[in-house]
Structures are given as structure tokens and as C-alpha cells.
Amino acid sequence: MAKSMSFVVGVIAVLMLLHAAYSTIQYRALLKITEDEFSGPPFEVLLELALVLVLSLFAGLTVPGNFRSILPDSDENRVVSLPANMNFMIFNHRGKAFPTETGLKLN
């Protein structure tokens, strides 16, 4: 749910970016008619671009998933035990003297 929400936000941000580009083109066309120099996009477009930046940043950070911890002592990364060395497993251990549940059978 939250993911699709931020995905929608991302789509809106892209649409807004297109809108900003379109407005700038229109503005330049207008300047050509009034024969003024183009010194930069109008203030409204700059504001829209700033908003797009924020929204797309939000979408880009939330849609792909959660961050992973890089700290060595976080629960995800802290190694608490090593794998049993299964390749070096030996079978004549004390378990031989205490056979586990009999009656198990493969049908």
C-alpha cells in the first residue's frame, strides 16, 4: 500500500517535470513575441522544479524497498554462530549410543 502510494507520487513528479518543461517552452515562445532576452525560467517553474526534486527523491528512496544496515554490529550483520562444518561431519559420535526415535521409515 505504502509502496504504491510512493509510486504514484513518483509518477506525479515525472508529470510535473514534463509540465515544467512545457511551461518553459511556452515562456520562451512568449519572450520571442515580446522580443525580450531569455535570462532563466520564471519563478513558478523554479518552484515546481524544487517540488519535483523533493517528490522524486521521496519516491526514489521509498519505492525500491528498505535500506539495509551496514553496521557490523546490527542484528542483520552480526554473526552469532558459524555454520557447522557439514563437509567434515563424522558419524561415530555419542549419538551412536543413543539411537534417535526408531520406527521412522521411508515409505
Partner 1 sequence: MVSKTEESQLQQLENQVENGGGGVWEYLSLVRKLKLRRSDKVLKHGLTLLNDPKKRSALGADEWTLYEQVAIAALDCQCLDVAKDCIKVLQKKFQDSKRVGRLEAMLLEAKGSWAEAEKAYSSLLEDNPLDQVISMRRVAMAKARGDILAAIDWLNKYLEIFMADHDAWRELAEIYVSLQMYKQAAFCYEELILSQPMIPLHHLAYADVLYTIGGIENLQTAKKYYASTIELTGGKNVRALFGVCLCTSAIGQLTKGRNNEDKEISGLAAKALEKDYKQNSPEKLDLLASTLKTLKL
Using CB under 8 A as the criterion, which residues of the chain lie in contact with partner 1 when the complex forms?
71-92, 95-96, 99-102, 104-107
The dihedral built from the CA positions of residue 30, 36, 42 and 45, taken in this order, carries a sign that is: positive
Nearer CB in complex with partner 1: 33/84: 84
Shortest reach from residue 62's CB to partner 1, in Å: 22
Q: Which residue has the cell 520406527?
A: 103
CB of 69 to partner 1, least distance (A): 10
Radius of gyration of the chain (CA): 31
Closest to partner 1 by CB, 26 or 74: 74
The rounded Cα 30 to chain-centroid distance in angstroms is 41
